[in-house]
């Protein structure tokens, strides 16, 4: 099979085929994102969106379903009646059993000949192999086809390799788009420009100038309807192994030679392979597992994780993880990277904090003990970058206080800011692989995560309880405090 990657606007019509087209992800994210892409002219001419699922809809009833379910996930200011009706006109539906090859005949008839096909697999990864095998057997896969794989891509390294091998039988690596919606966020993509487009930062972006790095992804929501899936997954697999490690890679990577997808992903892979592997003693000392108990979030009482529907009463699944790790390279020698994520936290927040080293000697007698400069990169809910510096407090002699230089990305640029899924779907349509994980990246991430999961199992310790609406177990703060740091919140 030829390895062709389209890097320009495709001239051929497009069939976007969504497996799981009646599911939660399609309703909340994919269809609204495709509508926005249509609204702004970012879909090729003669695009068709073919939803695939077990539920038996005809085209009219599926369109009615989308009308009822997806509109609320589109901002009212973007709902233009003419554009919405045009978008609904792109929709088609095919009922099939994804694991039964005989049912793919209807899909083969529905998809046009001579078009570029994108297969979006918004299904359980356990049936990725069945889908790809049946697509190929039905004559729907060719050298121009692309396949988008939703996470979680595996439960561990072994299962990730099985998925990669199965999909790789029918699609070349250049046709496979492993999606991580964090890589579609504007501020995450702006990290590349921040790091490699500003000469002022590069000389400082290394040890010993940087004292520590913090990455936090905190959620106020619980597990909700995902409890059945989540209890077999946990926070390390659900968030750390993919989202947080991808953020760490962008912070820690060396400058790529270009923005060519493989040039960028080669550098990210080097970071993942340089992550220090944890032994059992490291895991006991440098990781914290938590599970939320009853509490209050945003002023409303919430139940404990074990009281959620479909969660076993004796569950040991972690809903919170904090850990310390190191990137063993010259640039990052002995710089701790602190990672933290959790559900039912005090507030929704995703941020990266680069803490620079203190001055080697202070001439100010009243200076606070720690006068570190910090670069604080807010990813959500607002998107902004702050550089915290020390300044003299007016009228106070030489007393210092921290002040911030703020870059509010939303007010700095007048252009519309596309949502992550919209941006990534446009990348798929245009054949741009830079913001998607390569096979060896995925496997390197699992190679680092697996020993932690195995260590937790060997230690056989229950996750520490933390009150819903807090910042996690006290042990998370202690993890940093013993090294002279604290979480920036």
pLDDT over 60 at 10, yes or no: no
Residue 378 a catalytic site member: no
Instruction: In whole angstroms, give the CA distance from residue 13 to residue 167.
Output: 24
β-strand partners of 17: 50, 119
Q: What is the pLDDT of residues 311-369, one digit of tens each?
A: 999 999 999 999 999 999 999 999 999 999 999 999 999 999 999 998 877 777 666 65
- Please tell me whether residues 244 and 317 are part of one structural domain: yes
Annotated binding site: 54, 151, 181, 185, 219, 238, 343
Q: What pLDDT, on the 0 to 100 scale, is given for residue 3?
A: 37
- Please tell me whether residues 174 and 233 are part of one structural domain: no
What average pLDDT does this structure show over 369-395?
82
Tokens read off for 464: 């520490």
In this prediction, residue 371 has a pLDDT band, given cuts at 50, 70 and 90, of low
- Please tell me whether residues 102 and 68 are part of one structural domain: yes
Instruction: In whole angstroms, give the CA distance from residue 418 to residue 440.
Output: 29
- Please tell me whether residues 83 and 115 are part of one structural domain: yes
- Please tell me whether residues 194 and 160 are part of one structural domain: no
C-alpha distances in angstroms, 151 versus 25, 49, 124, 322, 367?
Answer: 11, 21, 9, 21, 48
Torsional sign, CA 51, 55, 59, 63: negative
Q: What is the pLDDT of residues 149-194, one digit of tens each?
A: 988 788 999 999 999 999 999 999 999 999 998 888 888 888 888 8
Is the residue at 63 inside a domain? yes
Annotated binding site for substrate: 181, 185, 219, 238, 343
Q: What is the pLDDT of residues 246-269, one digit of tens each?
A: 999 999 999 999 999 999 999 999
- Please tell me whether residues 245 and 128 are part of one structural domain: no
Among candidate residues 147, 178, 209, the one where a domain is terminated: 178
Task: Determine which of 35-49, 187-201, 419-433 has the lowest per-residue pLDDT on average.
Answer: 187-201
Q: What pLDDT, on the 0 to 100 scale, is given for residue 418?
A: 79
Q: Are 344 and 220 in contact (CB under 8 A)?
A: yes
- Please tell me whether residues 277 and 136 are part of one structural domain: no
Q: What percent of the chain has pLDDT over 90?
A: 73
Among candidate residues 131, 153, 178, the one where a domain is terminated: 178
- Please tell me whether residues 43 and 160 are part of one structural domain: yes
Q: Are 489 and 471 in contact (CB under 8 A)?
A: yes
pLDDT over 50 at 302, yes or no: yes
Torsion of CA 18, 20, 23, 25, to 10 degrees: -60
Annotated binding site for NADP(+): 54, 151
pLDDT over 50 at 1, yes or no: no
Tokens read off for 188: 């995450």
Task: Determine which of 16-20, 61-65, 293-297, 415-419 has the lowest per-residue pLDDT on average.
Answer: 415-419
Is the residue at 222 inside a domain? yes
Share in percent of the chain as helix, strand, coil (round to 5): 40, 20, 40
Phi, psi of 22 (to 5 degrees): -105, 10
- For residues 386-396, one letter each, b for 16 or more C-beta atoms within 10 angstroms of the residue's C-beta and e for the rest, the string is bbbebeeeeee
Domain with residue 211: its CATH number is 3.30.360.10
- Using CB atoms within 10 A of its CB, is residue 317 exposed (0-12), middle (13-18) or buried (19+)? buried
Domain of residue 53: give its range.
14-178
pLDDT over 60 at 11, yes or no: no
Counting every residue written for the chain, the total comes to 489
Out of 144, 155, 243, 378, which one is annotated catalytic? Answer: 243
Among candidate residues 178, 213, 246, the one where a domain is terminated: 178
Is the residue at 278 inside a domain? yes
What average pLDDT does this structure show over 376-391?
86
In this prediction, residue 7 has a pLDDT band, given cuts at 50, 70 and 90, of very low
Q: How many domains does the chain have?
A: 2
Instruction: In whole angstroms, give the CA distance from residue 282 to residue 285.
Output: 5
Tokens read off for 194: 């921040």
Domain with residue 148: its CATH number is 3.40.50.720
Q: ∠ at Cα 52 (46, 53), nearest 5°?
A: 160
- Please tell me whether residues 202 and 170 are part of one structural domain: no
- Please tell me whether residues 97 and 187 are part of one structural domain: no
Q: Which residues contact 288 (CB under 8 A, 6 or more apart)?
A: 320, 321, 322, 323, 464, 472, 473, 475, 476, 479
Is the residue at 489 inside a domain? no
Is the residue at 172 inside a domain? yes
What average pLDDT does this structure show over 54-83?
92
Is the residue at 487 inside a domain? no
- Please tell me whether residues 115 and 215 are part of one structural domain: no
Is the residue at 327 inside a domain? yes
Average pLDDT taken over every residue of the chain: 91
Q: What is the pLDDT of residues 427-465, one digit of tens each?
A: 999 999 999 999 999 999 999 999 999 999 999 999 999
pLDDT over 60 at 6, yes or no: no
Is the residue at 9 inside a domain? no
Phi, psi of 256 (to 5 degrees): -75, 160
Instruction: In whole angstroms, give the CA distance from residue 405 to residue 416.
Output: 24
- Please tell me whether residues 341 and 225 are part of one structural domain: yes
């Amino acid at each position: 099979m030829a390895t062709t990657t389209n890097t320009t606007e495709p001239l051929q019509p497009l069939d976007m085929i969504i497996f799981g087209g009646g599911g939660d992800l399609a309703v909340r994210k994919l269809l609204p994102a495709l509508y926005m892409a249509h609204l702004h002219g970012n879909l090729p001419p003669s695009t068709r969106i073919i939803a695939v699922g077990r539920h038996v809809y005809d085209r009219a009833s599926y369109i009615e379903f989308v009308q009822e379910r997806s509109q609320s996930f589109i901002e009212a200011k973007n709902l233009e009646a003419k554009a919405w009706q045009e978008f609904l006109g792109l929709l088609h539906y095919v009922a099939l059993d994804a694991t039964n090859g005989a049912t793919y005949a209807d899909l083969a008839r529905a998809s046009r000949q001579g078009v570029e096909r994108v297969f979006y697999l918004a299904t359980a990864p356990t049936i990725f192999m069945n889908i790809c095998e049946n697509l190929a057997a039905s004559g729907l896969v060719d050298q121009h086809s692309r396949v988008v794989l939703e996470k979680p891509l595996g439960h561990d390294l072994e299962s990730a390799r099985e998925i990669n091998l199965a999909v790789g039988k029918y699609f070349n690596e250049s046709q496979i788009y492993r999606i991580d919606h964090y890589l579609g966020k504007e501020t995450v993509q702006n990290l590349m420009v921040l790091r490699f487009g500003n000469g002022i930062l590069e000389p400082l972006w290394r040890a010993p100038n940087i004292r520590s790095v913090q990455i936090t992804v905190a959620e106020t929501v619980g597990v909700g309807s995902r409890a059945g899936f989540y209890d077999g997954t946990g926070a390390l697999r659900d968030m750390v192994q993919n989202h947080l490690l991808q953020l760490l890679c962008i912070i820690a990577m060396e400058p790529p030679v270009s923005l060519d997808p493989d040039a960028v992903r080669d550098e990210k892979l080097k970071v993942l392979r340089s992550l220090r592997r944890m032994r059992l003693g490291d895991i006991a000392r440098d990781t914290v597992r938590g599970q939320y108990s009853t509490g209050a979030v945003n002023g409303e009482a919430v139940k404990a994780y074990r009281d959620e529907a479909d969660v076993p009463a004796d569950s040991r699944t972690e809903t919170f993880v904090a850990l310390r790790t190191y990137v063993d390279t010259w640039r990052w020698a002995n710089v701790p990277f602190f990672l933290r994520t959790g559900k039912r936290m005090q507030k929704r927040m995703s941020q990266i904090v680069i803490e620079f080293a203190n001055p080697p000697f202070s001439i100010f007698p009243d200076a606070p003990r720690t006068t570190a400069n910090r670069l604080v990169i807010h990813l959500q809910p607002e998107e902004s970058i702050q550089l915290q510096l020390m300044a003299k407090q007016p009228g106070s002699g030489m007393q210092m206080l921290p002040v911030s230089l703020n870059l509010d990305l939303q007010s700095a640029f007048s252009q519309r800011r596309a949502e992550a899924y919209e941006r990534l779907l446009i990348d798929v349509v245009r054949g741009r692989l830079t913001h998607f994980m390569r096979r060896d990246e995925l496997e390197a991430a699992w190679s680092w995560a697996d020993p932690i999961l195995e260590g937790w199992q060997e230690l056989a310790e229950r996750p520490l309880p933390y009150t819903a609406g807090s910042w996690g177990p006290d042990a998370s703060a202690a993890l940093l405090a013993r090294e002279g740091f604290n979480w920036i919140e």
